[in-house]
Amino acid sequence: MKGKQEIAETAAVCGLYCGACGIYIATQENDTAKLEYYAKMMSQTIDETLCNGCRSSVVTAYCKKCKFTKCAAEKDIGFCGECNEYPCAGLKDFQTMMPHRAELWESQERIKEVGWEKWISERHKYFSCKQCNTVNTSYDMNCRKCGATPGNEFVRNNQVAILQFFAKRE
C-alpha cells in the first residue's frame, strides 16, 4: 500500500468511489442546475457543495465532516479495510443508510486484493454506461447521456434497494 497522500482523490477512505457521486460529477461538469439542486437539498451554498473528491482540497460540506477520513488519518491508514477495528459499528451504520453504499465491503476487499489503482479503474468502468461510456451515479436508472437502462452495472446489481429508497423518499 502506498502512502495515503498518493491515493487518488476519488478513492474514499470508506470504500466509496467519488467518481460516481452526483455532487462530484456536477462539480466536474460545471452543471449549475445540478449544483443548485444539491445545495438546496443539503441547505447550503453552491460553494459549500462543490467537490473534487474525498482526498482533494475541495470537499463538499457533508464529506468535510467525515469521521472515517479523520479516523483513518489519525491511524495513518489509507482505507478503513486496513484497520484492526474494521468493520467498526460506525462504518456498518453508514453502510446501511443509503443504497449507494451497498458495495463498501466488496470494495474494501477488492482494494486489499488488487490495490486501489486497479480497484479505481474497475469502479470507473463499473459505473460507466455500457452503451456510451458516460459515468453515471449510483442512482441513475437511465444513462444521463444516451438514456440506456440501467445507467451502469452498479444500478443493475442494486436496483431493488435503489427503487425502495426512491419510494421511501416520495
129 makes contact with Zn ion (CB under 5 A): yes
Using alpha carbons, select from 8, 3, 1, 2 the residue that is nearest to residue 120. 8
Among positions 61, 141, 148, 161, the unique one binding Zn ion when judged by CB under 5 A = 148
Enter the C-alpha cell of residue 51.
Answer: 467537490
Under a CB-based contact definition with an 8 Å cutoff, are residues 65 and 48 in contact? no
- Confirm if 55 and 116 have CB atoms less than 8 A apart: no
Least distance from C-beta 41 to Zn ion, angstroms?
25
Distance from the first to the final alpha carbon of the chain: 43
Q: Which residue, among 113, 108, 115, has the nearest Cα to 81 in the 3D structure?
A: 108
CA distance 47 to 39: 9
From 131, 156, 164, 166, residue interacting with Zn ion (rule: CB under 5 A): 131
Binding to Zn ion by residue 132, rule CB under 5 A? yes
Cα 139 to Cα 42: distance, rounded to the nearest angstrom: 17
Which region, judged by CB under 5 A, interacts with Zn ion, from 28-36, 81-89, 118-126, 144-152? 144-152
Q: Which of residues 26-55 bind Zn ion (CB under 5 A)?
A: none
- 112 versus 124: smaller Cβ distance to Zn ion: 124
Question: Considering the rule CB under 5 A, would residue 145 count as an interface residue with Zn ion?
Answer: yes
Q: Please work out the total of residues on this chain that contact Zn ion, with binding judged by CB under 5 A.
A: 8
* Number of Cα atoms under 13 Å in the Cβ half of residue 50: 9
In the shown chain, the binding pattern of residues 84 to 123 toward Zn ion, with x for contact by CB under 5 A and - for none, equals ----------------------------------------
Closest approach of Zn ion to the CB of residue 152, in Å:
9
Interface positions with Zn ion (CB under 5 A): 129, 131-132, 134, 143, 145-146, 148
